[in-house]
Structure formats: C-alpha cells, structure tokens
Amino acid sequence: MPSKSPVVIDLKFDQQEVAAALKGAFGDREVINLAHPASRTRDLAGIDYAVVWRPGQDLFARARNLKVVFSGGAGVDHVLTLPGLPDVPLVRFVDQTLTTRMSEWVVLQCLSHLRQVKAYDAQARRRVWKELPQPEAKELTVGIMGLGVLGQDAARKLKVMGFEVIGWSRGVKAVEGIETYDAAGLDAFLARTDMLVGLLPLTPETTGIFNGALFAKLSRKGPFGAPVFINGGRGGSQVERDIVAALEGGTLAGASLDVFEQEPLPLESPLWTHDRVIVTPHAAAASDVKALFRQVERQVADYEAGRPLEHVVDRRAGY
C-alpha cells in the first residue's frame, strides 16, 4: 500500500490547543506543524494537503504541489489573497460547533441591546437605581444580512427568543419561517430593520457595505428610535468612521462589533470606550480545533476514495 501523503498545518491559533487536538488526529498520516521550529526548513514539495489560518506568506511557494487547501475557519478572504495560492479546491470549515457559537454571540448581542445592558452598567457605575423602559423582543425586527449556515441558524434561534426576523442575501434564498429579500430588495429590507446583523463574507461587493448611507436607510420605528448594528462577519465589510459618526449623530443607537477593519483593534480607536458599543476580539465563533481536524481527516479520506469534497469555495463568488 502506498504511503499516505502528509498534512501540513499552518494555523495561527493557540498552539497548546493545536498540539492537544493533534494527539490522535490523522491516524498514521504524518503531520507537519509549521509552528515547530524544526519544520520551518522542511521540504514541503511532496505535500498534498494544507490546513491554514493566517499562514506564512511563503507557504504555497514551499508546498507547491498541494491538491487541497483547507481553511481553519468559515472565512476564506485572507486565503484568497495569499501569494501563490494554487488552483486547487479551497475548503471552508463548516461545523456545528462554529455555527452554535456564532448564534450564541448574535443572540447575546441582540438581547444585550434589547435589555439595555450598557445603559444599566453605566447606571451601576454611578450607583443609580433606575428602571428603564422595557420593550419586548417581538417589538423589534432583526434583519440578518448573510443567509448562509451561520445566518440561518442565528435567525432560527432569534425567533425562539421572540424577535421578528427577516433576512437578506445577494441572491434569492428561501428560508422556512423567515421572510427574505435579495439584492433588489435591499432598501425594503433595511427600512424594516431595527437591529441589523452582519454575517456576510468579504467580497468586492461587500467591502465597506456597512456605511453611513446604509445606516441612514434603517428603520426609525423601533422602540429605541434608532437602530442597532451588530457585526460578526468580516471587518472589511464595515466603515468604522461611519459607525462612530452614526452613533454620535443619532443614526445608530448602539453597536456590537466582533470584527474590525484592522485587527487587533488599534488602541486609539474610539470604539474601545464608546458608551454604546460592545467590543469583542474576533471571538464570536472560535474554531474548535479538534472538530476542524476531524473534518479535514474525513474529507481527505473521501477525496482519496474518489468522493466529492464538501464546502468547496466558489472563488468567483469569494465564499
């Protein structure tokens, strides 16, 4: 039996988690973890598979005969721009653990703004005992932009909490129990949206889409008078100076941001300390490394058996 091709790992994750996840992973297939100094000069020309997240700029020049590239996360925009990316299948990480974590974050942010967590926290710091008006979830419409696996799961869970939920995607999508809009219906979608959730991939069409002009089209009919913006998708889809201006000018009532134009978020950014902004450090849906390796191992076995790969990226669409 011919020997199995090794797998090269180039993941900018916590290396203790990676090491723990690699124990028992990939069976008798050799694994080359480029986080180890001894691997940095290793000849990678005969490697068929790579698992990457923010890999080294020279990876594809070194591993020049790859057959499949696996992304360590749901997003692949950073991989698509890497020099020397070979013309082979690029596979996104889609897993229930990642989906669940993102939905938890989205629901948490919607509830935090509904229940005015930031305002109560500010009152507590001043030792002010004052009950604020309390609308119900059913009084607000959450509009989700991005109806992939993550967006659809978040929509279902928000409906359980009582929110009215609508969705938007570039193309027509039918989602059971959710009214949806396509590109032509964007303005109508925005006009109904009290809480806007961004779960879009980053493509040329979505770069900077969350800007002042878009925020101005959101609903002003909700119980807080101005809408809320929540982004767990990609930082490049938002214009942060417009977010700050919208908050200061009353176009937005609040925001929750997990992704940013530059990461880590620069220390001088006003978003850090804004009294109506919740900041998390790109942690809404961290990849479960053990689940990632299980999926890669299964997909490699399928590929070598002649079965089709799942979650292959459409490079023209960017996701």
Tally the residues of the chain.
319
In this structure, of 2-16, 42-56, 211-225, the range with the lowest mean pLDDT score is: 2-16
Percent of the chain, pLDDT > 70? 99
Task: Note the Cα 103 to chain centre separation in Å.
Answer: 11
- pLDDT tens-digit series, residues 253-291: 999 999 999 999 999 999 999 999 999 999 999 889 999
Contact between residue 319 and residue 205 where contact means Cβ atoms under 8 Å apart: no
Catalytic residues: 234, 282
Distance CA 147, CA 170 (A): 9
Distance CA 60, CA 53 (A): 13
Question: 234-252 burial, b if ≥16 CB within 10 A, otherwise e?
Answer: bbbbbbbebbbebbeeebb
Q: Please enumerate in sequence order all residues whose Cβ is within 8 A of that of 4, keeping only pairs 6 or more positions apart, or say none.
A: 28, 29, 30
The CATH code for residues 7-95+287-304 is 3.40.50.720
* 3, pLDDT greater than 80: no
Beta-bridged to residue 52, according to DSSP, are 10, 71
Find the distance separating the first CA and the last CA of the chain, reported in whole Å. Answer: 36
Please count the other Cβ atoms lying within 10 Å of the Cβ belonging to residue 24.
9
CATH 3.40.50.720 domain span(s) along the chain: 7-95+287-304, 96-279
One CATH from 3.30.1540.10, 3.40.50.720, 3.40.50.1110, 3.40.50.300 for 96-279: 3.40.50.720
Q: Please enumerate in sequence order all residues whose Cβ is within 8 A of that of 130, keeping only pairs 6 or more positions apart, or say none.
A: 123
* 2, pLDDT greater than 70: no
- pLDDT tens-digit series, residues 104-147: 999 999 999 999 999 999 999 999 999 999 999 999 999 999 99
Of the candidates 297, 290, 295, which has an alpha carbon nearest to the alpha carbon of residue 14?
Answer: 290
pTM equals 0.91
Distance CA 200, CA 223 (A): 26
